[in-house]
């Protein structure tokens, strides 16, 4: 019989929904307001890079190459950054979330000061750190930025769980399906806000980030295991 298990706070459904919503929001923001580029969906940037090169529009191709290079650099920096955080016994997921918030604030403050290339670069670094921080939802791997694997797994896990009568696997498929919906909701909200506000719509990405930080802080304080029924009860 399937029994409900406890998971670390950073693997909770709420945490996964928050980071995925943020990802959808920021990717839509950069696409709509920063020249059709993606901060995190590097497949889209790589596709456009190839198209522009084939068209002979080499200078325009560079704008799609920049976020790709920054994202790759972010993975190198994240490796050393994570090693430093763990060495000093800080909580990796909470510390990373705070750094993500700082990067978002820098991007917001620089909207009227920095070139769009720099804004996209900052947000690409943001995405690179996020994708290497939050990797699982209730013990099941998922992606917060690139959705192709999630689309495949949502269908595969759900069908496998139904056929094999495995409730855990079926719920994994359901949870990842929720991730896809959350990513789309983030993109929708970003679009609705970008129409009247333009670049200033990025300010609203701070709301889920602040909530994420508070959620992780409470979870870390209560202990290593996550219980969705009592995490916000008085300690």
16: left (phi over 0), alpha (psi -120 to 50) or beta: alpha
pLDDT per residue as tens digits for the range 161-193: 999 999 999 999 999 999 999 999 999 999 999
Range 199-222 average pLDDT = 92
Q: 228: which residues sit within 8 A by CB, 6+ positions away? A: 12, 13, 14
**Average pLDDT over every residue of 100-112:** 96
Element (H, E) at 140: strand 140-141
pLDDT over 80 at 233, yes or no:
no
The range of the structural domain enclosing residue 42 comes to: 9-222
The answer to the question of residue 4 being in a domain is no
In a domain, 207, yes or no: yes
**CA angle, 216 then 128 then 90, to 5°:** 40
Res. 144: pLDDT tops 50: yes
Angle formed at CA 79 by CA 118 and CA 75, multiple of 5 degrees: 40
Which of 196, 162, 203, 156 is closest to 177 using CA atoms?
Answer: 156
pLDDT bin (cut points 50, 70, 90) of residue 3 is: very low
Range in 43-47, 78-82, 220-224 the model is least confident about = 220-224
Please check whether residue 233 lies inside any domain of the structure.
Answer: no
- pLDDT score for 74: 95
Inside any domain, residue 234: no
The pLDDT, as a whole number, for residue 224 is 57
Please check whether residue 24 lies inside any domain of the structure.
yes
> How many angstroms separate the CA atoms of 94 and 191, rounded?
28
Tokens matching residue 80 = 């050393």
What pLDDT shows up at residue 223? 65
**Reduced to 3 states, what is the DSSP secondary structure of residue 196?**
helix
> What is the b/e burial string over 121-132, where b = at least 16 CB atoms within 10 angstroms of the residue's CB?
bbbbbbbbbbbb
Residue carrying the six token digits 């995925």: 20
CB 26 within 8 A of CB 123: yes
Predicted local distance difference test score (pLDDT) of residue 139? 86
Residue 138: predicted pLDDT:
87
Total domain count, the chain: 1
- Position 229 confidence tier, pLDDT thresholds 50, 70, 90: very low
- In sequence order, which ranges of 88-147 are alpha helices (DSSP H)? 92-109, 116-131
Query: Would 235 be classed as within a structural domain?
Result: no
Model confidence band, residue 219 (pLDDT cutoffs 50, 70, 90): confident
Q: For the purposes of burial, counting CB atoms within 10 Å of the CB of 24, is it exposed (0-12), middle (13-18) or buried (19 or more)?
A: buried
């Amino acid at each position: 019989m399937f029994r409900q298990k406890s998971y670390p706070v950073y693997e909770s459904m709420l945490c996964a929904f928050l980071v995925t919503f943020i990802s959808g929001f920021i990717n839509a923001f950069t696409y709509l307001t920063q020249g059709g580029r993606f901060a995190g969906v590097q497949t889209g940037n790589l596709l456009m890079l190839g198209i522009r090169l084939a068209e002979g529009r080499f200078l325009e191709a560079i704008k799609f190459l920049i976020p790709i290079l920054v994202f790759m650099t972010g993975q190198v920096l994240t490796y050393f950054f994570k090693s430093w955080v763990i060495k000093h016994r800080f909580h990796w997921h909470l510390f990373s979330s705070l750094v993500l918030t700082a990067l978002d604030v820098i991007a917001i403050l620089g909207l009227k000061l920095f070139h769009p290339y720099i804004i996209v670069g900052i947000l690409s670094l943001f995405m690179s750190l996020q994708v290497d921080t939050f990797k699982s939802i209730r013990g099941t791997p998922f992606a917060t930025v690139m959705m192709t694997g999630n689309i495949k797994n949502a269908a595969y896990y759900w069908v496998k769980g139904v056929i094999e009568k495995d409730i855990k696997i079926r719920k994994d498929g359901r949870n990842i399906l929720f991730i896809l919906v959350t990513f789309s909701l983030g993109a929708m909200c970003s679009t609705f806000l970008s129409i009247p506000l333009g670049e200033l719509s990025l300010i609203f990405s701070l709301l889920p980030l602040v909530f994420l930080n508070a959620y992780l802080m409470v979870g870390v304080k209560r202990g290593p295991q996550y219980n969705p029924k009592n995490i916000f009860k008085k300690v």
